[in-house]
Amino acid sequence: MAGAVAPAAAGEAGSTPAQQPLRVLIVTPRYLPEIGGVENHVHAVATRMAASGEASVTVLTTDLEGGLASRDHDGEAEVLRVRAYPRSRDWRFAPGIGPVIRGGGWDVVHLQSYHTFVAPQAMAAAARAGVPYVVTFHGGGHSDWLRHRVRGLQRALLRPLLARAAALIATARFEIDEYATALRIPTARFVLIPNGFDLPPAPAAGTERSPGGRPLIASLGRLERYKGHQRVIAALPAVLEAEPAARLWVAGSGPYESALRKQVSELGLDDAVEISSVPLGERAEMARRLSEVDVAVALSEFETHPMAALEVLSLHRPLLVATGSGLGELADRGYARAIDPQAPPPAIAAAILRELRDPLVPARAEFPTWDDCAAALLALYRRVRSAA
């Protein structure tokens, strides 16, 4: 297929030297100050690639409220925002995307996430302009059941545009087989470039609690219903029967917070539960807090390449994850234990208690950093430009 490039291993530097900085446009439905996994991913790679001097990077994103600056900077990366509609829903129909793509003289357009109207708009505009584009799926979950139900139809409708991409980027190995099958696109068209993490070193926590200590459980992820925090909270009374001093830190922020606080109050758990987030920029504080956790729990119904879980593992802390998707992949590799996220509260409580009493402390492993991720993307962009 014209414009397609052969995939290479993540982190490969590429053999073609860059004669001039790449002009890269990263298109993402949401961006800082909105917080989430995709937003963090784009911030991490865009700022690093722009700072490297090898690429001129612009992030094109949308604004539902119209209150953010239309032109801004994140480090050395330029940020452009166009209005999106409707304000009441997260569909992100943004007519301003097309003109930016068609008029920018870009070497490559990188679309991040396929779940909103941003995806077809961006791919169609790039195709009409003859600009090569690549796609990272970020195929995470969503709290709206209807959005889950239409994913298959959504992929089918997007297939013609996805098939024209110069490369399709997976952040976890299971995605390659899943999307290749669902889209009827050969696996050779995919390239694996995992997410990274950037936690600074933290004091190593002990693998066992000190006698009389208060065990700390952390439930990880943005506060969305599909992330499963409510399941950990529901299991906490049974945990407290066996470990009365246990505490739960629900580590995140998001639209489901009020529902979680109501659940905590109804169960009489106010003294045992903290719901709070660590600001994105305070990485040392995040490392400190995660290093104090006795067991981290991630019961999301779907995660592609869970960054928070990787951060926990990098700090050598026990991790209990949901079966399936990227979380289950960590368990399959021996880094964590897994449980069906639909299991009843007593079963989840028993799994948590097992980790407190007989933790699976993962062997130290080298996980990709954001520098690795940014370098792999730059190498891919160079190959795309050479093939165009």
- The phi, psi pair for 225, rounded to 5°, reads -60, -40
Token pair of 348 as six digits: 């989840």
The strand pair at 77-83 and 71-74 is best described as antiparallel
65, 71, 72, 76: CA torsion to nearest 10: 140
pLDDT value, residue 144: 47
pLDDT value, residue 385: 96
pLDDT value, residue 373: 96
Pairwise CA distance, residues 163 & 264, whole Å: 47
pLDDT tens digit sequence for 316-357: 899 999 998 889 989 998 999 999 999 999 999 999 999 999
Burial 65-102 (b: 16+ CB within 10 A, else e): eeebeeeeebebbbbbbbebeeeeebbbbbebbbebbe
Residues of the chain with pLDDT under 50: 1-3, 9-18, 141-147, 205-211
pLDDT value, residue 8: 55
- pTM of structure: 0.77
Question: 3-state DSSP call for residue 74?
Answer: strand
Which amino acid is it at 111? L
- Cβ neighbours of residue 322 closer than 8 Å, sequence gap 6 or more: 228, 298, 299, 300, 301, 303, 328, 338, 339, 340, 341
Question: 3-state DSSP call for residue 136?
Answer: strand
* CA-based torsion, 307, 310, 315, 320: positive or negative: positive
Pairwise CA distance, residues 29 & 335, whole Å: 32
pLDDT value, residue 153: 76
Closest CA to 295 of 367, 230, 365, 350: 350
Please answer whether residues 176 and 194 qualify as being in contact, where contact means their C-beta atoms are separated by less than 8 angstroms: no
pLDDT value, residue 167: 97
